[in-house]
Structure 1
Amino acid sequence: MNSAARIEAFLEMMSVERGAADNTLANYRRDLEDATETIKGGLAGAGADDIRAYLGGMAARGFAASSQARRLSTLRQFFKFLYAENLRPDDPTGTLDSPRRERTLPKTMAETETGRLLDQADAEAAGKAADPVAAARMHALVEVLYATGLRVSELVALPVAVAMRDERFFVVRGKGSKERMVPLSQKARDAMRAWLVRRNGDPALADSPYLFPSPASESGHLPRQVFARDLKALAARAGIASAKVSPHVLRHAFASHLLANGADLRAVQQLLGHADISTTQIYTHVLEERLVRLVNDHHPLADPPP
């Protein structure tokens, strides 16, 4: 079995047994095909030195350490699969160290800025907007996103059933078709119900299975690129630099604000749908700041405020 056939077998396993999403499979394919084309003799028979040289070549091509680490993660899974299936007698990635990555903090928004963004969306939905349907939709989108921390792909593809029952929690299907329960604030539920009235009053939208339909899109629901564009425009109208705002930034704000106000890191991991706690640990700076504040505020030997 050559490299191409083994890659196909690996991708089939990730799809059928692991439920990997289409985007994830596409990333795996791109990573493995690049390695196959670059490593002399192909990927299937590569040794540890070949892979080490390949990763070093990525650095020479200008790839960041984070990209090298992600590529190594793909290769680890691929060779682990080959070893488990007796297609190789060894795993050449077992002795390789991950490239050292600099700790980068996620972009987020202050609570005051987030409040201004939500207030702007609320005011536009309640006022005489030029497009009242779009204003009601945007209000529902930002309220639900900040209340739940959903990935943007999860948000725009929500089923309409979520808004048709007044419950404090709903189940969302995330990466790898894994389900998790997320909470809905009262403000988010109110915004969704107001949007549902507008949505159901439009014959072009009413019959869609999606909460945020878009008949013109291939998927049938609002494209995430459209939401991202409209969110930046909303931020500008709220007096916030549009470059600072994106759906992912609001997801980070959800997590950071929860931790800053006393939430547990494990709980935030579950709410975000992170498979590994190490992914959630990008927010540890928030915990560190909270601990310093806790000691300064409550320790008997802490310096008094000036």
Structure 2
Amino acid sequence: MEILNPPQAHEPWNKGKLVGQKAPLKLKVIWAIRVRLQLGHKIRDLALFNLAIDSKLRACDLVKLRVSDVTHGGQMACRAMVLQQKTGRPVQFEITQVTRETVHAWIKYVSLSSSDYLFPSRVADSPHLPTRQYARIVRRWVEDAGLETGSYGTHTMRRTKASLIYRRTRNLRAVQLLLGHTKLESTVRYLGSEVDDALEIARQTDV
């Protein structure tokens, strides 16, 4: 009797690799990238960039967003909720006016329906933008901004707004909720240069 090998699960690209913490983007870099994408008429990339910043989602969750996740009754929503693949827990995020405008422009440009993936794949073997392709897109943004590519990646997009919010509020618990982390330690790691301050606050608020 022939024994069939079970299908191999797709392994994360960074499994077994030592990957350094990726730096968040500064405000001036965010706007520089936006302007460059606008001038280049990169409608998809501009929507993807803005939504990545606003949502703070992991790459695997960002690329699987559907139009229905960010719209209600054909109109762009001000807030969205997504079930995270890694934790199975829901997380909410605000969609700013700038992001709503660019995402709406993208939806109209490619005539997406409510059930469609927001960022369809351009290759046949994936219905939505693959995470590897998203990583290459982020690398291109970083290169065009004149930044060191080794210091930035897809987690840069997830960390950027979280870091900005923490610097303004110093509210570690709020950032934990926004990122959908189950452990406070995970949030601390995302704060980069603020890690010492965050650890001190974590000790003070531990119950």
Same fold (TM over 0.5): yes
Work out whether 1:165 is the aligned partner of 2:75.
yes
Q: CA deviation at 1:140?
A: 0.5
Q: Would you say the 8 A contact 1:265–1:280 is kept in 2?
A: yes
Structure with greater helix share of residues: 1
1:53-90 residue CA offsets vs partner (Å, 9 max, x unmatched): xxxxxxxxx998x9xxxxxxxxxxxxxxxxxxxxxxxx
For residues 197 and 188 of structure 2, the distance between their equivalents in structure 1, rounded to whole angstroms, comes to 14
Alpha carbons of structure 1 residues 63 and 233: separation in structure 2 relative to 1, 3 Å: closer
State the AA in 2 paired with 1:121. L
For residues 76 and 114 of structure 2, the distance between their equivalents in structure 1, rounded to whole angstroms, comes to 20
Alpha carbons of structure 1 residues 226 and 105: separation in structure 2 relative to 1, 3 Å: closer
1:192 is aligned to 103
Q: CA deviation at 1:160?
A: 1.1
Q: Pick from 237, 245, 248 the counterpart of residue 152 of structure 2.
A: 245
Q: CA deviation at 1:280?
A: 0.6
Q: CA deviation at 1:149?
A: 0.9
- Match of 1:261, SS state, is helix
State the AA in 2 paired with 1:270. L
2:202 is aligned to none
Q: Would you say the 8 A contact 2:66–2:118 is kept in 1?
A: yes
Alpha carbons of structure 1 residues 158 and 227: separation in structure 2 relative to 1, 3 Å: same
CA RMSD for the aligned pairs?
Answer: 3.1
1:110 is aligned to 26
> Structure 1: which 4+ aligned runs deviate by more than 4 Å?
205-208, 287-290
For residues 241 and 150 of structure 1, the distance between their equivalents in structure 2, rounded to whole angstroms, comes to 23
User: TM-score w.r.t. structure 2 length?
Assistant: 0.75
Give structure 2 stretches of 5+ with no counterpart: 1-8, 199-207
- Match of 2:40, SS state, is helix
2:171 is aligned to 264
For residues 168 and 160 of structure 2, the distance between their equivalents in structure 1, rounded to whole angstroms, comes to 12
2:181 is aligned to 274
For residues 119 and 256 of structure 1, the distance between their equivalents in structure 2, rounded to whole angstroms, comes to 22
Alpha carbons of structure 1 residues 250 and 153: separation in structure 2 relative to 1, 3 Å: same
Specify which structure has the bigger relative contact order, considering alpha-carbon pairs within 8 angstroms and separated by 6 or more residues. 2
Q: Pick from 168, 175, 194 the counterpart of residue 286 of structure 1.
A: 194
Work out whether 1:145 is the aligned partner of 2:52.
yes
Q: Would you say the 8 A contact 2:43–2:106 is kept in 1?
A: yes
State the AA in 2 paired with 1:169. R
Identity within the alignment, %: 25
1:119 is aligned to 35
1:155 is aligned to 62
- Match of 2:125, SS state, is coil
Give structure 1 stretches of 5+ with no counterpart: 1-21, 28-61, 67-103, 126-134, 291-306
Q: Aligned residue pairs: how many?
A: 183
Larger radius of gyration: 1
2:129 is aligned to 222
Q: Would you say the 8 A contact 2:66–2:114 is kept in 1?
A: no
For residues 105 and 235 of structure 1, the distance between their equivalents in structure 2, rounded to whole angstroms, comes to 15
User: TM-score w.r.t. structure 1 length?
Assistant: 0.52
Alpha carbons of structure 1 residues 63 and 145: separation in structure 2 relative to 1, 3 Å: closer
1:302 is aligned to none
